[in-house]
Amino acid sequence: MTEITPLPGAVRKSPRAVRYATFSQRRRGWDQDEVREFLASVADDIQAADNERAALRAEVDRLRNTPRDAGGPGGGAEERTEINAHAVALFSQAQQVADRLVAEAVQHARDLMVNARAQQREILQQAQQAADAAEAAARNEMASHPEAGDGHQHHPPIPEVEYVRTFAHVAQVQLRSVLDALTEQVDKLGELPRLENGGAPHMPPYAPNQPSDRPYAGPPPPHLEVPWQLEARPRRPQAG
């Protein structure tokens, strides 16, 4: 193995320059043949190193220019950078499982919400019917005992009206909490583990900085501005 160690800052001598280097004569100098032989072997080494370096550079360029995943039909360029088809299949399966879990959770939440809305509609209808019935009963009462009402007074069946009112109120509160609980469940769907860069998945704590709930009918926040001045009059009378 020839090691190429670049000489820092040195002006590189070509093998030819080494091989045919000349020196001035001195007495008691070295044996000229030995020196020549030595220079020739150094030049050979340099030549061999240069050749090897050129070959390596060409190989690097070739690999660099080969599109990594665009090998020919025979797969001539299937290098170790190739993504294994088996790995792709495994990864795909995992992704499909994740997709299915999210889809099922979303569907489940949606079903629950749809159910809750149907119940809400039903309860409201019942309340409406109860109110209608109570009103009709009150009318009958009035009609059958006109003297009791002194002719002009209402005779509301207080207990029925109160019952309906309370019923409607309770129903509303219940529905609100059902809806909020459901949306909270849905919220958690977004809190799936995140893959950190190259690291293992970790579970974030459940919504640490989110309030567990917001009041539904709190007072509206102060208006930052009057967005749309409805009471303003036109500055000029309307044309035509």
Partner 1 sequence: MDTAALQNSWAIVAKSGDEVPLFFYSHLFLSHPELREMFPISMSAQRDKLVGALGRIVSNVDQLDDVTPFIQQLGRDHRRFSVVAEHYSKVGASLLATLRHFLGPAWTEELAADWAAAYGLVAKVMVQAAEMAAESSPAWWTADVLSIERRTIDVAVVQVRPQQPFTFVPGQSVAFETPLRPRLWRYFSPANAPREDNTIEFHVQIVDGGQVSGAIVRAMQPGDTVRLGPPIGDDLVRSPGDQRDLIMIAGGTGLAPLRAVLEQADREWQAEGRAPQIHLFHGARVPWNLYESELLAQLTTRPWFAYTAVVSDDSSFPGARGLVGSVAARSMQWQGRSAMICGSPQMVTSTVSELTSAGMPSDDIRFEKFANADGNGLHPPLEAARSGDQS
Binding to partner 1 in span 28-47, by CB under 8 A: none
Greatest alpha-carbon span in the chain: 156
Compute the distance between CA of residue 51 and CA of residue 2 in angstroms, rounded to an integer. Answer: 11
User: Which string of x and - marks every residue 54-83 that binds partner 1 (by CB under 8 A)?
Assistant: -------------xxxxxxx---------x
Task: Report the nearest approach of partner 1 to the CB of residue 66 (Å).
Answer: 11
Q: Does 159 bind partner 1 (CB under 8 A)?
A: no
Backbone CA torsion sign across 18, 19, 22, 26: positive
Rounded distance between C-alpha atoms, residue 52 and residue 67, angstroms: 25
Shortest separation between residue 235's beta carbon and partner 1, angstroms: 6
Q: Total residues at the site for partner 1 (CB under 8 A)? A: 72
Residue 216 Cα to chain centre, angstroms = 29
Residue 121 in the binding site for partner 1 (CB under 8 A): yes
**Rounded CA separation 132/135 (Å):** 5
Residue 103 binding partner 1, by CB under 8 A: yes
216 near partner 1 (CB under 8 A): yes
Provide the 3-class DSSP secondary structure of residue 194: strand
Of 56, 60, 98, 137, the residue at the interface with partner 1 (CB under 8 A) is 98
Site for partner 1 in 175-204 (CB under 8 A): 175-176, 179-180, 183-184, 186-187, 189-190, 192, 194-195, 197-198
Looking at 36-44, 53-61, 96-104, 154-162, which segment touches partner 1 (CB under 8 A)?
Answer: 96-104
Residue 169 makes contact with partner 1 by CB under 8 A: no
CB 4 within 8 Å of CB 49: yes
Q: Is 182 exposed, middle or buried (0-12, 13-18, 19+ CB in 10 A)?
A: middle
Stretch that binds partner 1, among 12-20, 41-49, 137-145, 224-232 (CB under 8 A): 224-232
Nearer to partner 1, 39 or 186 (CB): 186
Q: In whole angstroms, what is the distance from residue 19 CA to residue 72 CA? A: 46
Q: Is 208 in the site for partner 1 (CB under 8 A)?
A: no
3-state secondary structure of 79: coil
Q: Looking at 2, 14, 95, 166, which residue binds partner 1 (CB under 8 A)?
A: 95
Q: The dihedral of CA 24, 25, 27, 28: what is its sign?
A: positive
Q: Which is nearer to partner 1, 32 or 177 (CB)?
A: 177
**39 vs 175, which CB is nearer to partner 1?**
175
| Lookup: tokens for 55 | 């070959």
Decide if residue 205 touches partner 1 (CB under 8 A). no
202 three-class SS: strand
Q: What is the distance between the alpha carbons of residues 79 and 64, in angstroms, rounded to a whole number?
A: 12
Q: Rule CB under 8 A: say whether 236 interacts with partner 1.
A: yes
